[in-house]
């Protein structure tokens, strides 16, 4: 019986999306679906929920929860990762509150920026532990990483974990559809090309019947910028740099030095930037869980409709050899020629029985590549810090971050990093 292992299975809603998709897909019947989470209560809830779906649809797959991670991984053909190390309390709170003391505000703090750096530093050691187990018990498994910070963690698993890894993010899937919907345009028949890095990939082309749609996109965007809306940062970036970005405005507000600035507080209002957005979402999700739990875990006739998540389509393409196209995060093996070869990039990939095959892009527009490199610098220095254990590289990563360096002096950046290291305590390894 082939095996799909889901690490972080206590994320019940996400487990429903990814594994529920597998349970209702004919090509993916007869699998063992192995669940692992460090929280036994949430693990049991997800097991119950998935058995509801299995019984509703008569799936022939077996659901099994494990208390031993290595045993959950043993013999796996596919591994899905959806962990969050440190959770909302204490780690996310720490990522936001200590920078605030230095006047550094954030929106999501899960990709780059000071929050992204420290989320990486506490997650990388755990991921490398996964890799060590996988090298022993399932060395040929395909590892699908859904955990942020996507680019760094996918890079680490490929480069230092020795595990065949592709990172998956929703932003590429939603990019064209959401842009056209918000501008009142029809996306039927639109052909697009997207490439860059995770959360900062670029809609390089948008055409229909051979006609370039960008002039009309930009015309409508200029009109829309005259009033408040939820995507003002991305429109502003597109109108100044020429191309639309895949990830949301609340994310991109903190990836660049232009929007969240103490000396220009009016920018927050002008571009409708939701500071402290991620903590708000966390509190809302925690508050809603009781109701969701009853709907998912307490419903023995639970139904499921296949979602847009890539995982089941990747598994199906490999198992059936019916090719499928994804936007995947992979190592830059010459795919984007004006980004560093050490970087993890987001490009179109073809999936079939041969696995995940990235496609060649060539040069990005020079201004797009330049913006990508500002984030890649911090990503690569964060990896260097995690692998070498050198505190100086944490400082380097933070000092090279566009938003952090635009707001704080070098002395304040180093002091803030020291405070964050101390506050994280045992969530981080020792740095010398």
pLDDT in tens, 180-232: 999 999 999 999 999 999 999 999 999 999 999 999 999 999 999 999 999 99
Q: Is the CB of residue 76 less than 8 Å from the CB of residue 140?
A: no
Residue 271: predicted pLDDT:
98
Could you tell me the residue range of the domain that residue 145 belongs to? 3-170
Confidence of residue 428 (pLDDT cuts 50, 70, 90): very high
Q: Which of 170, 229, 256, 424 is catalytic?
A: 170
User: How would residue 361 be classed by pLDDT, with cut points 50, 70 and 90?
Assistant: very high
DSSP secondary structure letter of residue 426: G
224: part of which helix (H) or strand (E)?
helix 214-224
Would residue 99 count as lying in a domain? yes
Q: What is the pLDDT of residue 31?
A: 98
Cα distance between residue 201 and residue 327, in whole Å: 10
Residue pLDDT, tens place only, 133-182? 999 999 999 999 999 999 999 999 999 999 999 999 999 999 999 999 99
Q: Known catalytic residue: 170? A: yes
What does the pLDDT average to over 390-406?
98
Phi, psi of 246 (to 5 degrees): -70, -40
Q: Are 175 and 144 a contacting pair, CB within 8 Å?
A: no
pLDDT recorded at residue 420: 98
| Cα–Cα distance, 59 to 366 (Å, whole number) | 50
CA gap 412, 423 in Å, rounded = 16
Output the pLDDT for position 42: 97
Residue 267 is assigned to a structural domain of this protein:
no
Tell me the pLDDT of the chain averaged across its residues: 98
Annotated binding site: 148, 169, 199
**Domain CATH code at residue 101:** 3.90.1820.10
Of the chain, the percentage scoring pLDDT greater than 90 comes to: 100
Average pLDDT over residues 348-366: 98
The pLDDT of 290-317, averaged and rounded, is 97
Secondary structure element (H or E) that encloses residue 356, with its range: strand 355-358
3 state SS of 431: coil
* Continuous segment of H or E residues that includes residue 193: strand 191-197
Instruction: Please give the distance of CA 304 from its chain centroid, rounded to a whole number.
Output: 24
Q: What is the pLDDT of residue 239?
A: 98
Residue 138 within any structural domain of the chain: yes
155 belongs to a structural domain: yes
Give residue 37's pLDDT.
98
Q: What are phi and psi of 367, to 5 degrees?
A: -70, -30
Confirm whether 218 is domain-assigned.
no
Mean pLDDT of 373-395: 98
Pairing outcome for strands 165-168 and 324-331: antiparallel
Annotated binding site for substrate: 148
Domain annotation covers residue 9: yes
Asked whether residue 393 is domain-assigned, the answer is no
Binding site membership for Mn(2+): which residues?
169, 199
Q: What is the pLDDT of residue 65?
A: 98
Please give the model's pTM, rounded to 2 decimal places.
0.98
Rounded Cα–Cα distance for residues 166 and 176 (Å): 22
Name residue, tokens 């892009």.
Answer: 361
Q: Is residue 131 part of a domain?
A: yes
**Domains held by the chain: number:** 1
């Amino acid at each position: 019986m082939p095996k799909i292992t889901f690490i972080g299975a206590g994320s019940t809603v996400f487990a429903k999306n990814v594994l529920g998709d597998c349970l209702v897909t004919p090509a993916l019947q007869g699998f063992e679906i192995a669940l692992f989470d460090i929280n036994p209560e949430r693990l049991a809830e997800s097991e119950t929920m998935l058995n509801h779906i299995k019984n509703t649809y008569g799936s022939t797959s077996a659901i099994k929860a494990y208390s031993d991670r290595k045993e959950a991984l043993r013999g796996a053909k596919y591994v899905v990762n959806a962990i969050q190390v440190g959770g909302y309390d204490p780690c996310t709170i720490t990522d936001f509150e200590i920078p605030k003391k230095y006047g550094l505000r954030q929106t999501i703090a899960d990709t780059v920026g000071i929050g992204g750096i420290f989320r990486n530093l506490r997650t990388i050691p755990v991921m490398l532990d996964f890799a060590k187990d996988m090298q022993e018990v399932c060395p040929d498994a395909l590892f699908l990483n859904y955990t942020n910070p996507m680019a760094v963690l996918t890079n680490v698993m490929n480069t230092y974990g020795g595990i065949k890894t592709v990172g998956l993010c929703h932003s590429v899937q939603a990019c064209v559809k959401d842009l056209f919907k918000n501008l009142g345009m029809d996306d039927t028949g639109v052909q697009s090309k997207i490439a860059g890095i995770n959360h900062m990939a670029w809609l390089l082309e948008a055409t229909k019947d051979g006609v370039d749609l960008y002039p009309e996109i930009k015309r409508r965007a200029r009109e829309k910028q005259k009033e408040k809306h939820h995507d003002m940062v991305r429109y502003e970036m597109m109108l100044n740099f020429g191309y639309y970005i895949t990830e949301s405005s609340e994310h991109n507000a903190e990836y660049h030095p232009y929007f969240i600035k103490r000396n220009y507080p009016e920018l927050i209002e002008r571009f409708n930037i939701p500071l402290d957005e991620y903590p708000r979402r966390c509190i809302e999700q925690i508050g809603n869980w009781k109701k969701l739990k009853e709907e998912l875990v307490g419903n023995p006739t639970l139904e499921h409709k296949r979602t847009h998540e890539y995982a089941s389509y990747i598994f199906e393409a490999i198992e059936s050899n019916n090719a499928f196209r994804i936007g995947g995060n992979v190592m830059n093996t010459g795919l984007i020629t004006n980004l560093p070869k050490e970087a993890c990039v987001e490009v179109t990939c073809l999936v079939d029985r041969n696995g995940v095959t990235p496609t060649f892009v060539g040069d990005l527009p020079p201004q797009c590549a330049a913006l990508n490199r500002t984030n890649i610098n911090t990503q690569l220095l964060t990896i260097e810090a995690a692998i070498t254990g050198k505190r100086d590289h944490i400082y380097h990563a933070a000092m090279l971050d566009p938003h952090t360096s635009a707001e704080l002096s070098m002395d304040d950046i180093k002091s803030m990093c020291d405070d964050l290291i101390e506050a994280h305590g045992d969530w981080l390894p020792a740095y010398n």
